[in-house]
Amino acid sequence: MDELISELSLEEKVSLLGGQDFWSLPEIARIGLRSLVMSDGPVGVRGTGWAPEDPSVALPSPTALAATWDPELVERAGRLLGQESRRKGVHLLLAPTVNLHRTPLNGRHFECFSEDPLLTGEIAAAFVTGVQSLGVGTTVKHLVGNDFETERMTVDVRISERALREVYLPPFERVVRAGGWGVMSAYNGVNGSPMSSHAELQQRVLKDEWGFDGIVVSDWRAARDTVGAALGGLDIAMPAMQNPWGEALVEAVRAGLVPEEEIDAKVRRVLRLAARVGALGPPPSGEWPELDGSAVAHEVAARSFVLVRNEDFTLPLEPAALTRVAVIGALALDARVLGGGSATVTPPHVISPLEGIGRSLSGVDVAYATGADPRPFLPPARGPEWTGLRVDLAGKYDFAVGEAALRWIGDLPGRLDPADVDGLTIAGTFTPAVDGEHVFAVSGFGTFVLTVGEREVYRGALHAEGTERGELLLSPREHRAAVTLAAGVPVEVILTQIIPAGMAHTVSTTLGHRPPGPDAAEMITEAAALAAGSDVAIVVVGTTEQVESEGFDRTSLALPGTQDELVRRVAAANPRTVVVVNAGAPVLLPWADDVAAVVLTWFPGQEAGAALADVLLGVLEPGGRLPTTWPRRAEDCPVLDVTPQGGVVSYDEGVFVGYRAWQRASREPHYAFGHGLGYTTWSYEALRVVDGTAEITVTNTGAREGREVIQVYVRPAAPDDERPAEWLAGFATVTAHPDESVTARVDLPERTFQTWADGGWHTVAGDYEIVAAHALDDPRLVVSLTVGA
Q: Is 569 in the site for ligand BGC (CB under 6 A)?
A: no
Contact 197, 232 (CB under 8 A): yes
- Using CB under 6 A as the binding rule, whether residue 346 contacts ligand BGC is answered as no
> In the stretch 574-613, what mask flags binding to ligand BGC with x, by CB under 6 A?
----------------------------------------
Question: Looking at 116, 147, 219, 614, which residue is catalytic?
Answer: 219
Note if the bond before 639 is cis, omega within 30 degrees: no
**Region of residue 233 (left: phi > 0; alpha: psi -120 to 50; beta: else):** left
Cα separation of 222 and 339, whole Å? 22
Residue 220 CB, nearest distance to ligand BGC (Å)? 4
Q: x/- contact string, 241-260, with ligand BGC (CB under 6 A)?
A: --------------------
DSSP 8-state code for residue 446: S
CB of 113 within 8 A of CB of 123? yes
Residue 156 is among the residues annotated as catalytic for this protein: no
CB of 498 to ligand BGC, least distance (A): 26
Q: In this structure, are residues 574 and 537 in contact, taking their beta carbons and an 8 Å threshold? A: yes
Residue 468 Cα to chain centre, angstroms? 25
Work out whether 113 is an interface residue with ligand BGC (CB under 6 A).
Answer: no
- Using rule CB under 6 A, residue 407 touches ligand BGC: no
Q: Which of 34, 91, 101, 141 binds ligand BGC (CB under 6 A)?
A: 141
Least spacing, CB of residue 25 vs ligand BGC, in Å: 14
Q: For ligand BGC, how many residues bind (rule: CB under 6 A)? A: 7
CA pair distance 147, 101, nearest whole angstrom: 7
Of the pair 155, 328, the CB lying nearest ligand BGC is at 155
Helices (H), 375-490: 469-474
Q: Cβ closer to ligand BGC: 238 or 540?
A: 238
Report if residue 173 touches ligand BGC, rule: CB under 6 A.
no
CA neighbor of 757 nearest in space, from 335, 210, 162, 110: 162
Q: Taking the C-alpha atoms of 332, 334, 336 and 338 in order, what is their torsion angle to the nearest 10 degrees? A: 130
CB burial of residue 292 (10 Å; 0-12, 13-18, 19+) = exposed
Instruction: Report the residue number, 41 or 284, with the smaller CB distance to ligand BGC.
Output: 41
- Return all residues near 70 (Cβ < 8 A) that are at least 6 apart: 303, 623, 709, 733
- The full 3-state SS of 759-775, as one line of letters, equals CEEEECCEEEEEEEEEE
The answer to whether 183 contacts ligand BGC (rule: CB under 6 A) is no
**Residue whose Cβ sits closest to ligand BGC:** 342
Residue 391 Cα distances to 204, 399, 401, 417, 445, angstroms: 51, 5, 7, 16, 16
Residue 40 near ligand BGC by CB under 6 A: yes
Give the x/- contact pattern for ligand BGC in 217-236, rule: CB under 6 A. --xx----------------
Region at 592 (left for phi over 0; alpha for psi -120 to 50; beta for the rest): alpha
Q: Which residues contact 625 (CB under 8 A, 6 or more apart)?
A: 67, 69, 306, 674, 675, 676, 709, 711, 775
In the complex with ligand BGC, which residue's Cβ is closer, 220 or 727?
A: 220
Check binding of 94 to ligand BGC (CB under 6 A): yes
Q: Would you say 220 or 684 has its CB closer to ligand BGC?
A: 220
Q: Counting contacts by CB under 6 A, is residue 342 touching ligand BGC?
A: yes
Indicate the residue among 222 and 592 with the shorter CB distance to ligand BGC: 222
- Give the shortest CB-94-to-ligand BGC separation in angstroms: 4
Which one of 41, 121, 171, 358 is in contact with ligand BGC (CB under 6 A)?
Answer: 41
Alpha-carbon span 753 to 706, nearest angstrom: 32
Closest separation in Å from C-beta 473 to ligand BGC: 9
Judged by CB, which is closer to ligand BGC: 42, or 170?
Answer: 42
Cβ closest to ligand BGC, residue 184 vs residue 612: 184
Positions annotated as catalytic residues are 219
Interacting residues with ligand BGC (CB under 6 A): 40-41, 94, 141, 219-220, 342
